[in-house]
């Protein structure tokens, strides 16, 4: 069964006047003064639609600052009253939900460390039954699309229709300049699974460092995300959590000014015609690509029959090295991104091995 979700459009629950939804605020609510002043400066930018703050913080190791908890909730009420802006908070337990709603929090989000655990997500969903509140779900820490999808299904199953995703990147164990690897394909697949589900980019947690925020936010806008959630703080260097990735409200305002916001499409006829023509050429090239792949696989199958009859192994390290290197070199010569050709040939080689193993372990003999 193809999964589907009943999701209300973003602009039915938050007014953004056709612009991307901008959520910003400190990683953590630390003091009343810090929270209210950050919110005040953000509201003065005139570009922020929702203020955020962490109240309950899941931390990797015990002993780190775990959020101010319930004590911060009245500060949120004051920040809301002074700015007139709605407020979003992370919740991880039914008790958090009850308290957040009691103190007038407008939007809840489920954090990456909660999304990984279906028991936790189900508890949250059960606590949300009968409540009309927008809920945003961050991607799970590990790159597992099914877990992310499952979280939406559980929360939607409790009757929540004001739903959105937050893409904050993944822990993959690979070396990366970013704190969390974006794995854009995951977000693209989520959008393909649930076309109506808004996706909000979280460049702060992806980047881990101020220096990468702009490029990541721009990429998220170019992927047609519906909004951004960015951490900001009146004194980022002295923040009690995530100091390296927070911006002052003024710096955040500047970052927003430098963002190119593009539209999903254009009615311009000349553009539409050009697009159609080029896309039809792309269709042809893609057809050739697929035919070429099929031709290669047919050759590999033939080769496997000889290997089977002569009792020779599938994997041939020397030949693979040659294939890999020559194709990468050729790609580079043609101006292609080197990793593109390398990665494609790794996939082709694995498929060649899979196919050959299948042929070699079938009982027929070649003619």
Ligand X SMILES: O=C(O)C(=O)C[C@]1(C(=O)O)C=C[C@@H](O)C=C1
The site for ligand X (CB under 6 A) is made up of: 300, 303, 314-316, 319-320, 323, 349, 352-353, 356
Nearer to ligand X, 244 or 353 (CB): 353
Nearer to ligand X, 129 or 321 (CB): 321
Q: Cα-flanking dihedrals φ and ψ of residue 113, to 5°? A: -80, -15
CB 338 → ligand X: shortest distance, Å?
Answer: 19
Nearer to ligand X, 158 or 314 (CB): 314
Token pair of 207, please? 């980047």
CB 299 → ligand X: shortest distance, Å?
Answer: 8
Nearer to ligand X, 8 or 314 (CB): 314
Angstrom distance (rounded) from CA 345 to CA 347: 5
Please count the other Cβ atoms lying within 10 Å of the Cβ belonging to residue 228.
25
CB 294 → ligand X: shortest distance, Å?
Answer: 14
Q: Which residues of 291-307 are buried (b: 16+ CB within 10 A; e: fewer)?
A: eeeeeeeeebeebbbeb
Angstrom distance (rounded) from CA 220 to CA 202: 9
CB 329 → ligand X: shortest distance, Å?
Answer: 16
Angstrom distance (rounded) from CA 18 to CA 28: 29
Nearer to ligand X, 13 or 345 (CB): 345
Closest to 30 in 3D by CA, of 77, 63, 60, 65: 65
Nearer to ligand X, 40 or 349 (CB): 349
Angstrom distance (rounded) from CA 136 to CA 27: 16
CB 96 → ligand X: shortest distance, Å?
Answer: 53
CB 353 → ligand X: shortest distance, Å?
Answer: 6
User: For ligand X, which residue has the nearest CB?
Assistant: 352
Nearer to ligand X, 77 or 357 (CB): 357
Angstrom distance (rounded) from CA 235 to CA 210: 13
Closest to 326 in 3D by CA, of 312, 342, 313: 342
CB 313 → ligand X: shortest distance, Å?
Answer: 9
């Amino acid at each position: 069964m193809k999964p589907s979700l009943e999701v209300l459009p973003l602009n039915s629950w938050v007014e953004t006047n056709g612009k991307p939804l901008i959520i910003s605020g400190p990683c953590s609510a630390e003091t009343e003064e810090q929270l209210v002043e950050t919110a005040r400066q953000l509201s003065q930018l005139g570009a922020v639609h929702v203020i955020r703050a962490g109240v309950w913080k899941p931390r990797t190791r015990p002993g780190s600052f775990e959020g101010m908890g319930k004590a911060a909730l009245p500060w949120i009420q004051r920040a809301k009253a002074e700015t007139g802006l709605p407020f979003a908070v992370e919740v991880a337990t039914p008790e958090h939900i009850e308290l957040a709603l009691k103190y007038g929090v407008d939007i809840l989000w489920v954090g990456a460390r909660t999304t990984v655990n279906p028991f936790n997500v189900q508890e949250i969903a059960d606590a949300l039954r009968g409540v009309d509140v927008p809920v945003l779900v961050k991607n799970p820490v590990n790159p597992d699309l099914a877990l992310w999808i499952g979280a939406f299904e559980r929360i939607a199953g409790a009757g929540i229709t004001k739903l959105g995703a937050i893409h904050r990147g993944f822990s993959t164990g690979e070396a990366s300049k970013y704190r969390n690897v974006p794995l854009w394909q995951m977000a693209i697949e989520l959008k393909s699974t649930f076309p109506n589900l808004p996706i909000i980019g979280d460049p702060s947690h992806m980047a881990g460092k101020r220096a990468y925020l702009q490029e990541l936010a721009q990429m998220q806008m170019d992927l047609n995300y519906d909004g951004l959630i960015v951490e900001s703080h009146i004194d980022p260097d002295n923040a009690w959590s995530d100091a390296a990735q927070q911006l002052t409200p003024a710096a955040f305002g500047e970052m927003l000014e430098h963002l190119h916001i593009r539209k999903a499409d254009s009615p311009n006829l000349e553009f539409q015609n050009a697009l159609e023509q080029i896309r039809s050429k792309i269709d042809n090239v893609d057809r050739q690509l697929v035919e070429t792949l099929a031709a290669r696989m047919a050759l590999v199958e033939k080769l496997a029959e000889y290997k089977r009859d002569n009792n020779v192994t599938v994997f041939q390290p020397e030949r693979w090295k040659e294939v890999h290197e020559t194709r990468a070199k050729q790609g580079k010569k043609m101006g292609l991104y080197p990793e593109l050709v390398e990665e494609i040939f790794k996939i082709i080689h694995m498929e060649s091995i899979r196919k050959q193993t299948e042929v070699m372990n079938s009982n027929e003999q070649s003619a």
